[in-house]
Structure 1
Amino acid sequence: MKIQNPEYFKEGQVLLFDKPLNWTSFQLVNKVRWLIRKTYKIKKIKVGHAGTLDPLATGLLIICTGKFTKRIEEFMGQEKEYTGTIVLGATTPSYDLETEIDATFPTDHLSDEAIHAATAQFTGSIMQQPPVFSALKKDGKRLYEFARAGEEVDIPSREVQVSAFEITRIALPEVDFRISCSKGTYIRSLAHDFGKALNTGGHLSALRRTKIGDFEVSNATSLEAFEAALDASVL
């Protein structure tokens, strides 16, 4: 990455980052904004991201600066690709590792053939219920606020598109996958529903976003590399 001057960011850039594990998307945006402001001693710069990744997920996060923040909605609407791991035989309230296992189920009835075949139920246009541990709002509150307070909440299902769902490795209880899907698809919910379809439980144990439209994580930069490029630009 070669950076010339502060106008580079003010005019607008699309920056591809590989989000680290345990960082929120908001934290990464704040860090990038702070680094730009500190390096060039500027008071204000528009910075935003195109599509949230959960703290326990890694991978491609598009960050836009300056005038390119107007294109955020455009980027968010593009198809996304993920890889990850589903653990069969156990569920968690959050559908991932954010919460502890709350129930276990047998997996000895599962075959490779059945696991591969079950993906057909989750391709094309499907109805999906977002997880209660999510940032979606209902009645002015985030869903996770209801969940953490132990309050019941009715979450309507919604239609999403899954253009590809491929099983890439089976080593029970772990199953690795690759998924291409539309905006608004919750891979955690898919992991939960996939386990249910196999008459067992399931939760997500790893997730990585590899593509957004034509943007690929292989072309993304790390926060450390970005900071080094900023330092080099003012030498």
Structure 2
Amino acid sequence: MSVQKLQERTFNFAEGELLLINKPYKWTSFDVVGKIRNSLKPLKLKVGHAGTLDPLATGLLILCTGKLTKQIDTFQSEDKEYTGTMVLGATTPSFDMETEVDAEFPLDALTEEAIYAAATPFTGDIQQYPPAHSAVKINGERLYVKARRGEEQELRLRNVTVHVFEITRIALPEVDFRIACSKGTYIRSLVSDFGRLLNNGAYLSKLTRTRSGSFLLEDAIEVTDMVSYLKLQRELHTLNSAVANS
């Protein structure tokens, strides 16, 4: 959505707005929240997100402002959908590209039939461990902070539901996929477990959230466009105030 399209809408950020943002690559979810919150100054409004995306993931991030932040848990509990790419034949400690490859495996024995078949056991109600490099808190501290210090932690299994796990392209070592799942599903963990099931290795190289509940990425706003729109609104407000007081 462009700045011009944004200007066709009427926003009431204090009463509460739900903003669909396309999170950029390498931005944290909190980076996006901070950017929008700062752009809303001098209004002192609450801004929060409904569902964290890893820094290396892109796609739909739901933001709530003002009074609507009270409903964040409702939006966060909705099912999610993702598209992504995994790399077979190697593993990393973080299960994605944040850390370097720590083990490699031959791909010669892998067949397309085996790869397609490996998706089936991960469909339905499953259990998974969160990645050691994740935002899950243990004793008030996030796991990735402990992992970066080299501390090992006992991880707890969590119950999640994968509604759809579809392999959409195989071009080894890359495999593309589409996943629809319940909240709290770690796609990195699923990819790692997928490689292990094949007696091989796998890590996540690309991930995009395309849907959250009934909200779609195609309707999302670029962060830069939202910031430009808010800057323009501030300038117009300042100009109108100056005219009114002249």
TM-score strictly above 0.5: yes
Structure 1 runs (4+) greater than 4 angstroms displaced: none
**Residue type matched to 1:129 in 2?**
Y
* Matched residue, 2:58: 58
Contact 2:85-2:206 at 8 Å conserved across structures:
yes
Q: After superposition, what is the alpha-carbon deviation per residue over 1:110-130, rounded to whole angstroms, capped at 9, x for unaligned?
A: 111111111011000001000
SS at match of 1:226: helix
2:200 maps to what in 1? 200
RMSD over aligned Cα atoms: 1.4
Cα distance between partner residues in 2 of 1:178 and 1:107: 22
Q: Partner letter of residue 12 of structure 1?
A: G
1:139-189: per-residue Cα shift (whole Å, max 9, x none)? Answer: 232211221122221101111000000001000000000000111100000
Could you tell me which of 26, 30, 33 is aligned with 1:22?
A: 26
Gaps of 5+ in 2: 1-5, 237-246
1:105 is the counterpart of 2:110: no
SS in 2 for 1:125: strand
Is residue 7 of structure 2 the alignment partner of residue 2 of structure 1? yes
The structural deviation recorded for 1:3 is 7.0
CA distance in 1 between partners of 2:230 and 2:148 (Å): 40
1:229 Cα deviation from its structure 2 partner: 2.2
Q: What SS is found at the alignment partner of 2:40?
A: helix
* TM-score, reference length from structure 2: 0.90
- Aligned AA for 2:147? A
In structure 2, distance between residues paired with 1:175 and 1:209: 17
Q: Which residue of 36, 39, 52 maps to 2:40?
A: 36
- TM-aligned CA deviation for residue 224 of structure 1: 1.7
| Structure 1 segments unaligned to the other structure (5+ residues) | none
Q: What is the CA–CA distance in structure 2 between the aligned matches of 1:19 and 1:3, rounded to whole Å?
A: 22
TM-score (normalizing by structure 1)? 0.94
User: Contact (CA 8 Å) 1:3, 1:230: kept in 2 or not?
Assistant: no
What is the alpha-carbon distance in structure 1 between the residues aligned to residue 175 and residue 113 of structure 2?
Answer: 13
Q: Aligned letter for 1:206?
A: K
Alignment of 1:170-189 (within 5 A): 170-189=170-189
Aligned length: 230
Take 1:9 and 1:3, find their aligned partners in 2: how far apart are those partners? Answer: 16
Q: Which amino acid aligns with 1:2?
A: Q
The CA deviation at 1:4 is 7.0
Q: Is the 8 A contact 2:39 2:231 kept in 1?
A: no
How far apart, CA to CA, are the structure 1 residues paired with 2:186 and 2:165?
13
Q: Which residue of 1 aligns with 2:134?
A: 134
- Using the alignment, how far apart are the partners of 2:152 and 2:161 within structure 1? 28
